[in-house]
Structure 1
């Protein structure tokens, strides 16, 4: 099982467990840490409309995922469901 770290607003907010790639997209389990910023991220995602973000991903939350010591990968968060499955799109660049 592969894990990477998820960053939002330049701070670590949790682990992204076994993110499965599908072209520009990743899908996997998000395990938030105990930080106030992680809670704010979860609250923000709970108040978003995933269908709207899927149609216009520029409205999603910009974040970064990092595997070990590799360079961070810029992503936009499109959906977080009630089981903490996280769906993101890689940002070209």
Structure 2
């Protein structure tokens, strides 16, 4: 089972377990970071309030995070679209212009 770290606001807030890819999107089970429950709970609260249709229409309504894949050193910028039933649904962001836009317009 693959376990991918999730960084939000500079803190490891949990892990995505066995992420399933579909084009630019990933979904997987969220596991909180038991070593930082406060940050993990804050992340859960912020992501549960997302409205997936609004984020699809306007990515700036999502939440920006980074994924930490095992043995990968490059940044993986991601926008969280939804969190429901312990499943995170996210979109990977690729390309310099797209990453710059997300960094400027999507909140952490």
Q: Output the TM-score relative to the length of structure 1.
A: 0.89
Runs (5+) with no aligned partner, structure 1: none
Residue 90 (structure 2) aligns with: 88
Give the paired residue count: 92
Structure 1 segment 66-85 matched on structure 2, within 5 A = 66-70=68-72, 71-81=74-84, 83-85=85-87
Residue 26 (structure 1) aligns with: 26
Question: Helix, strand or coil: the match of 2:41?
Answer: helix
Decide which structure has the larger Cα Rg and report it.
2
Q: Compute the RMSD of aligned alpha carbons.
A: 1.2
Question: 2: CA distance between counterparts of 1:46 and 1:22?
Answer: 22
**Greater share of helix residues, 1 or 2?**
2
**Residue pair 2:66, 2:77 contacting (<8 A) in 1 also:** yes
Question: 1: CA distance between counterparts of 2:12 and 2:75?
Answer: 12
**Residue pair 2:50, 2:61 contacting (<8 A) in 1 also:** no
